[in-house]
Structure 1
Amino acid sequence: MPVHRPGTARPRHLHLAGLLLTTLALLAPYSAAAAATPPRGSAHMGMGVVQHDGRHGTPADTRATQTEGVDVSSHQGNVAWSTLWNSGVRWAYAKATEGTYYTNPYFAQQYNGSYNVGMIRGAYHFATPDTTSGATQADYFVDHGGGWSRDGKTLPGALDIEWNPYGAACYGKTQAAMVTWIRDFLNRYKARTGRDAVIYTATSWWTQCTGNHAGFATTTPLWIARYASTVGTLPAGWQYYTMWQYTSSGPTVGDHNRFNGALDRVQALANG
């Protein structure tokens, strides 16, 4: 490349190249930030847990009977349900909705496919408390696959409330406002279906964003996310968990779970 000598006119192509390099340098931080934020609708159970608590857990042996389950979203696409059934999986949750702007395009295959191989299945909603109210999102969820029927094989809907993958961890809400949002969702879901929804969360997020609120424990089943050998400390109020998501890197489908009881207890939750 020709050397530019002081006191002479800078060649036009060098001037333009310098401007281009300067522009790219200024845009780089913004491009990196944009690339780090996933597109709306791509969130799924455990997305924040992976970032905060690791990717994998192996439950310690326990004398208590537990029942294996999975949860899926559009990330898994069409799921090989017969393979999962043959591996011992007996229950499943499929993501139905997110906010009021997204429905899982694979929901029918996942929700009906798990049912058709004999599993007890349910639907979950990924909450975005910064976009619309809890009641509005509960309506959207019920209207797009999150309902419940007393057929013995349908679990109550689950509210996935965890770290915000699109921005501030607590969605810009105070702890009191977050508790109100969750209460509004749960109340509307029960009014629409007659069932108490399940809460899926992680203890550290719950403590940070709700102030470790204990007021839902008496009526709402807890689905705890912790990728370790034990569930650890539960959120305030809950004396036991109903379900435990223990890994995001299980066989066939990433997220694997244990139901805290034998299959007849899964059936009991389905039956209400």
Structure 2
Amino acid sequence: MWRFTVKSALFTGAAVTLGLLLASTGPAQARPTDPSSPDAVTAAPQPTPQARQHGIHKAGDAYMGWLHNTTTSSAPAAPAPAAVVEGIDVSSHQGNVDWQYWWNQGKRFAYVKATEGTSYRNPYFAQQYNGSYNIGMIRGAYHFALPNNSSGATQANYFASNGGGWSRDGRTLPGALDIEYNPYGATCYGLSQSAMVSWIRDFVNTYKSRTGRDAVIYTNLDWWTRCTGNSTAFNATNPLWVARYSSTVGTLPGGWPYYTFWQWTSSPLDQNHFNGDQSRLVALANG
């Protein structure tokens, strides 16, 4: 069964002091991985003590917004944009998802973690990706980036070949690059700001050459400012998926004029707004 992990936190969008975030008090749980992958070329990274406190116990366990996972019980008040479509994102942490339940809760799109680095594939991907589609949702896949693991091109190709592809069926969203805090070491993965921008450009350019679509970029203001110098290199091409756990979206990173997706809470699992109505979401899917 998939599990509910109540992990809401206020994500201010300003600089976040990593050592002061609340740690999860829940019991550690083993997470499934895909041991059959032949693609590992380096030793598996080990999660930092802080990452372990947030449910990341081994390579492959990283998930969107992991650093803001706490056990506080209340979510921020849900905002009420004029036109919005509600959705969720999931990873192996949710296991086999009850898609009928989330459809009944009004969720109409879902993003599913497909890959991480170049050696991990979500073992629940098929159930989650196909299950959301079969219930009627518009679905997409995301890749958790490890920029110190291999080049952006290498990881984009791995993602596109392992669930991150795209087809113009009106029900498949462009793949998303999850680029955020490193759960296995240095916050910016040991890269300079200019090197990080180059890595991201390598990923999104390769992904577009493989799929014909501009990848969605998931990030937050603090990490993007620290690790890319708040680069504006992608705001005219790649849709923004911003993480801010609050009742308002706040200042957007990178000079993006608007967000496409907003991850606004992680209680009882990651919930997102699409910035537009259903017809615009379908238009994004169709490219």
Is there any run of 5+ residues in structure 2 with no aligned partner, and where?
1-47
Q: Which runs of 5+ in 1 are unaligned?
A: 1-30
Distance between the aligned counterparts of 2:147 and 2:74, measured in 1?
25
2:116 maps to 1:98: yes
Q: Does 1:162 align with 2:180?
A: yes
Q: Which amino acid aligns with 1:40?
A: A
Percent identity, aligned pairs only, is 65
Q: Per-residue deviation at 1:243?
A: 0.4
Query: Is the Cα contact below 8 Å between 1:227 and 1:246 reproduced in 2?
Result: yes
CA distance in 1, matches of 2:285, 2:52: 41
Note the C-alpha offset of 1:236.
2.4
**d(CA) in 2 for partners of 1:210 and 1:58?**
31
Residue pair 1:55, 1:248 contacting (<8 A) in 2 also? no
TM-score, length-scaled by structure 2: 0.79
**TM-score normalised to structure 1 length:** 0.83
1:43 equivalent among 48, 62, 69 = 62
Q: CA deviation at 1:71?
A: 0.2
2:161 counterpart of 1:143: yes
1:85 equivalenced with 2:85 (yes/no): no
Q: Which has the larger radius of gyration?
A: 1
The change in CA–CA distance for 1:90 and 1:215 in structure 2 (over 3 A counts) is same
Alignment of 1:58 onto 2:77:
yes
Show the 5 A alignment for 1:1-272.
38-50=57-69, 56-62=75-81, 64-250=82-268, 254-272=269-287
Offset of 1:215 from its aligned partner? 1.0
- C-alpha distance in structure 2 between counterparts of 1:105 and 1:165, whole Å: 20
Secondary structure at 2:254's aligned position in 1?
coil
In structure 2, do the counterparts of structure 1 residues 34 and 69 end up closer, same or farther at CA, with 3 Å as the change threshold?
closer
- SS at structure 2 position matched to 1:167: coil
Structure 1 residue 40: deviation in Å?
0.8
Q: How far apart in 2 are the matches of 1:139 and 1:126?
A: 13
Question: Any conservation in 2 of the 1:78–1:106 contact (CA below 8 Å)?
Answer: yes
Q: Which amino acid aligns with 1:261?
A: G
Give 1 or 2: higher helix fraction.
Answer: 1
SS in 1 for 2:113: strand
State the secondary structure of the residue aligned to 2:195: helix
The verdict on how the C-alpha distance between 1:33 and 1:48 changes in structure 2, with shifts beyond 3 A counting, is closer
Q: Render the CA deviation track for 1:25-82: whole Å, top value 9, x for unaligned.
A: xxxxxx978966731100001112447xx984333333x1111000000000000001
Return the letter of the residue paired with 2:284: L
Q: Tell me how far 1:94 sits from its aligned partner.
A: 0.3
**Whole-angstrom distance in 2 between the partners of 1:233 and 1:67:** 21
SS in 2 for 1:108: helix
Q: What is the rounded CA distance, in whole Å, between the counterparts of 2:258 and 2:161 in structure 1? A: 31
Instruction: Please tell me the root mean square deviation across aligned C-alpha atoms, in Å.
Output: 1.9
**1: distance between equivalents of 2:147 and 2:277?**
34
CA distance in 1, matches of 2:184, 2:52: 11
Does structure 2 conserve the Cα–Cα contact (< 8 Å) formed by 1:200 and 1:223? yes
1:224 maps to amino acid:
V
